[in-house]
Amino acid sequence: MLWDIFCRVIDNHGDLGVCWRLSVNLAARGQRVRLWVDDASALIWMAPEANLNADGWAQLKFDKGEVQVRPWDAGLSQTSEASHVWIEAFGCELPEHFLLNEQDKPALDQVPVWINLEYLSAESYVERSHRLPSPVMSGPMKGRTKWFFYPGFTVKTGGLLREKYLEESSTWQTVEETSVALDARFDLPIQSSLFCYEPAALLEALQLSSFNRTEHEWQVAHGRGALAFDKALGALPLNGMPPNFQKIPPLSQIEYDQLLRSCDLNFVRGEDSLVRALWAGKALIWHIYPQDDGAHAAKLNAFLDWLKAPESLRQFHMTWNGLSQVALPEIDLLAWQACVQNARQRLMKQADLVSQLLQFVAEKG
């Protein structure tokens, strides 16, 4: 089938990252995808295999499928092939020129399945809203129906993006193997990856005894988190020992996934890197995107409830996200990693997002 996926870039790490992974996952299963993006420039480092050109076009071929990246305002003719599926990622609206072109086409026997792919959350409304219809009441597509599709962490949601190799790999540790591995490397340096916004507790974390030792090294991702890290470094007491760290240049998605698997503790932010940290199966701290109305607090607590986070991990999250003034607890790497491993095992028993999308489209098409 031919899929049209639409992405407006608000945060190029997350919005575009999710849409690119979705497109590639579909193409790997024999689907053809046109990915419409208003700013695809981050694909230059995020997905160098796409070979994005200066005009914002790219194409990646698979054995049976392909992904074509198109600029948001790229035109279509009336003779252009009609797609089977439209996906509005994160509630973006379809380009007006695209809808007008579709309106002018002769009536088709098959109306595209129109999906609003929503943000990821563990909150209870996700299960209630997943797969609900949303009639289009005005505009060129009046009378059509959109369908809400919610990614999520339970069997009553749309699931998470998951590649086949994650299911087939024999290298992932069980909880018991994790304990043995951590014991075996007790005297080796602990590695933490840092990808965040501007957490108020970052300076406190750098001073925490769990991190403030020669056996620990920070792997600092580029962007806002790196600037926040520099600011925290500048605020450290002059008589203290500076932390060991390494600045990391922009990584491709494949390289970033490898980084998460190689570290012992992963600080992640937003949606895409949270899911990748769960698949990595290592201890994680999530910096949720802060919202002015405080809605992120309920979203974070819902995730921690689903995760079955031990109290120390929950408290670290609350302080890290500025939702508590309680001091950061010392890290309990073994307990935190066991928690994530257990969550990963639960997720592996559920259908992934692309499998569920394919099934949904088959039902509605």
Burial zone of 171 (CB within 10 Å; 0-12 exposed, 13-18 middle, 19+ buried): exposed
Nearest to 114 by CA among 145, 80, 159: 145
Residue type, 282: K
Indicate which residue of 4, 102, 118, 271 is catalytic.
Answer: 271
Cα separation, 67 vs 324, whole angstroms: 44
Measured between its terminal Cα atoms, the distance across the chain in Å is 11
Question: What 8-state DSSP symbol labels residue 220?
Answer: E
Cα separation, 221 vs 200, whole angstroms: 18
15 belongs to the catalytic site: yes
Residue type, 239: N
Indicate which residue of 15, 118, 123, 352 is catalytic.
Answer: 15
Structure tokens at 101: 């072109």
Identify whether the C-beta of residue 112 lies closer than 8 Å to the C-beta of residue 361: no
271 belongs to the catalytic site: yes
Burial zone of 364 (CB within 10 Å; 0-12 exposed, 13-18 middle, 19+ buried): middle
Catalytic sites, residue numbers: 15, 271
